[in-house]
């Protein structure tokens, strides 16, 4: 149960539990990792271990403390979360709270989410607490970006880095725990780039499959239709500006599949496995060299997009260049 809750971070969790069993916990931890890797889940499981009432096998998942943590209603586990910045007042509140001994159990855990949002003043105030917290207190800082934290803060914490998760692990999780079909799980896992939260977000985003289908349709039209139709397709992209980067990534992934299939004739390494017939069709039509060039063109467009060049012009140029490569292949 504990390890399941921290998908892909089992090793880190096992090390923590070993330290807990040997009574070698740090006063403060800094959990670092990209958005969606499960920092909060890891922190929750750590808090569970710290507060658990069982004599052995912590966290037991059975005791009142573990159960309360499962519902985020443990009175001695305090989450600090702020929308914008974490100001000094929030740290002062925390410091006042820390002075009060736990009345339920013998431990208190403070989890500061998005610690990089702490203002400089707030960080300086927190330093004092990190230096000498009461023995019943553990402080856990979560951050996507430790560069925004004072080095003195970082040096007082034990650092735990969450790394991207193996795609097979995410795929298996989606199939077994989320009842996702095998082919779809492969697609979602690949697009997650090793971030479980991203795979789940895509799974729950109903419009995502539609956006993906639009991209696939565009690749089909590149092969079959005249340039005029293609430019009409572009309309779909403009309408959803916030998803353009995602669409370009989908497109790159698509042509990587076409390239891989052309190279190997093997379907088992293809990401867009649910569209294998279309992949085979396009890999028949396009030359190896042109597929490579097309991937490069899309990548370049994506980079340009980041540097804010004219969006419409950028996409039109991309399509025309892609079409040119397709035509070269067909000739
Ligand atoms: Zn327990």
Residue 3 has pLDDT above 70, yes or no: no
**Rounded distance, CA 168 to CA 190, Å?**
9
Q: How far is the CA of 54 from the centre of ligand 1 (A)?
A: 5
Q: How far is the CA of 69 from the centre of ligand 1 (A)?
A: 9
Residue 21 has pLDDT above 60, yes or no: yes
**DSSP annotation of 119:** -
Domain termination site, one of 137, 161, 185: 161
Q: How far is the CA of 3 from the centre of ligand 1 (A)?
A: 14
Both 18 and 87 in one domain: the answer is yes
- Report if residue 176 sits inside a domain: no
**Rounded distance, CA 41 to CA 51, Å?**
15
- Report if residue 323 sits inside a domain: yes
Residue 48 has pLDDT above 80, yes or no: yes
Query: pLDDT category, 206, cuts 50, 70, 90?
Result: confident
Q: How far is the CA of 175 from the centre of ligand 1 (A)?
A: 29
Both 152 and 248 in one domain: the answer is no
- Report if residue 79 sits inside a domain: yes
Mean of the pLDDT values across residues 236-258?
A: 86
Q: How far is the CA of 68 from the centre of ligand 1 (A)?
A: 9
For the stretch 178-197, pLDDT in tens is 999 998 899 899 888 899 99
Name the least confident of 82-96, 157-171, 224-238.
224-238
- Report if residue 25 sits inside a domain: yes
Q: How far is the CA of 53 from the centre of ligand 1 (A)?
A: 5
Task: Output the domain CATH number for residue 41.
Answer: 3.40.50.300
Both 266 and 153 in one domain: the answer is no
pLDDT value, residue 5: 67
Q: Give the DSSP H/E element, type plus range, for residue 263.
A: helix 244-264
Q: What is the DSSP string of 186-240?
A: HHHHHHHTT-HHHHHHHHH-HHHHHHHHHHHHHHHHHHHS-HHHHHHHHHHHHHT
Query: pLDDT category, 269, cuts 50, 70, 90?
Result: confident
Q: How far is the CA of 37 from the centre of ligand 1 (A)?
A: 24
Which residue range(s) make up the domain with 118? Answer: 2-161
Residue 73 has pLDDT above 80, yes or no: yes
Residue 141 has pLDDT above 90, yes or no: yes
pLDDT value, residue 207: 87
Which residues lie below 8 Å from residue 136, measured CB to CB, with a gap of 6+?
101, 102, 106, 107, 108
For the stretch 104-139, pLDDT in tens is 889 999 999 999 999 999 999 999 999 989 999 999
**DSSP annotation of 266:** -
Q: How far is the CA of 217 from the centre of ligand 1 (A)?
A: 52
Helix (H, G, I), strand (E, B) or coil at 182: helix
Mean of the pLDDT values across residues 246-259?
A: 93
**Rounded distance, CA 197 to CA 46, Å?**
19
Q: Domain count of the chain?
A: 2
Q: How far is the CA of 63 from the centre of ligand 1 (A)?
A: 4
- Report if residue 70 sits inside a domain: yes
Structure tokens at 189: 């896992």
Q: 144 near 159, Cβ under 8 Å?
A: no
Q: How far is the CA of 20 from the centre of ligand 1 (A)?
A: 13
pLDDT value, residue 6: 83
Name the least confident of 52-56, 238-242, 247-251.
238-242
Query: pLDDT category, 308, cuts 50, 70, 90?
Result: low
Mean of the pLDDT values across residues 238-258?
A: 87
Helix, strand, coil fractions of the chain, as percent rounded to 5: 65, 10, 30
Residue 28 has pLDDT above 60, yes or no: yes
pLDDT value, residue 191: 85
Q: What is the largest CA-CA distance in the chain?
A: 79
Task: Output the domain CATH number for residue 215.
Answer: 1.20.272.10
Q: How far is the CA of 46 from the centre of ligand 1 (A)?
A: 11
Burial class (CB in 10 A: 0-12, 13-18, 19+), 99: exposed
Mean of the pLDDT values across residues 253-263?
A: 95
pLDDT value, residue 243: 85
């Amino acid at each position: 149960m504990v390890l399941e809750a921290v998908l892909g971070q089992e090793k880190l969790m096992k090390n923590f539990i070993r330290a807990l069993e040997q009574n070698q916990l740090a006063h403060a931890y800094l959990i670092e990792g990209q958005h969606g890797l499960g920092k909060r889940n890891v922190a929750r499981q750590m808090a569970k271990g710290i507060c658990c009432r069982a004599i052995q096998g912590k966290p037991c998942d059975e005791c009142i403390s573990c159960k309360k943590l499962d519902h985020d209603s443990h009175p001695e586990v305090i989450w600090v979360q702020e929308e914008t910045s974490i100001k000094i007042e929030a740290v002062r509140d925390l410091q006042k709270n820390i002075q009060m001994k736990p009345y339920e159990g013998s431990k208190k855990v403070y989890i500061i989410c998005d610690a990089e949002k702490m203002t400089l003043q707030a960080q300086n105030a927190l330093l004092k607490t990190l230096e000498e917290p009461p023995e019943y207190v553990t402080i856990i800082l979560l951050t996507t970006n430790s560069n925004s934290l004072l080095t003195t803060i970082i040096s007082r914490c034990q650092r735990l880095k969450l790394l991207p998760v193996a795609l097979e692990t995410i795929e298996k999780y989606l199939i077994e725990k989320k009842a996702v079909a095998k082919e779809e799980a492969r697609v979602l896992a690949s697009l997650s780039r090793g971030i479980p939260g991203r795979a789940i977000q895509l799974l729950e985003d109903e419009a995502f499959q539609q956006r993906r289908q639009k991209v696939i349709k565009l690749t089909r039209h590149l092969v079959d239709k005249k340039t005029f139709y293609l430019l009409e397709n572009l309309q779909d992209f403009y309408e959803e500006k916030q998803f353009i980067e995602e669409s370009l990534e989908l497109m790159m992934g698509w042509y990587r599949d076409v390239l891989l299939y052309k190279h190997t004739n093997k379907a088992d390494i293809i990401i867009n496995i649910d569209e294998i017939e279309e992949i085979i069709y396009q890999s028949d039509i396009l030359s190896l060299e042109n597929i490579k060039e097309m991937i490069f063109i899309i990548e370049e467009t994506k980079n340009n997009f980041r540097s804010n060049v004219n969006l419409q012009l950028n996409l039109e140029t991309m399509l025309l260049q892609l079409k040119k490569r397709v035509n070269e292949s067909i000739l």
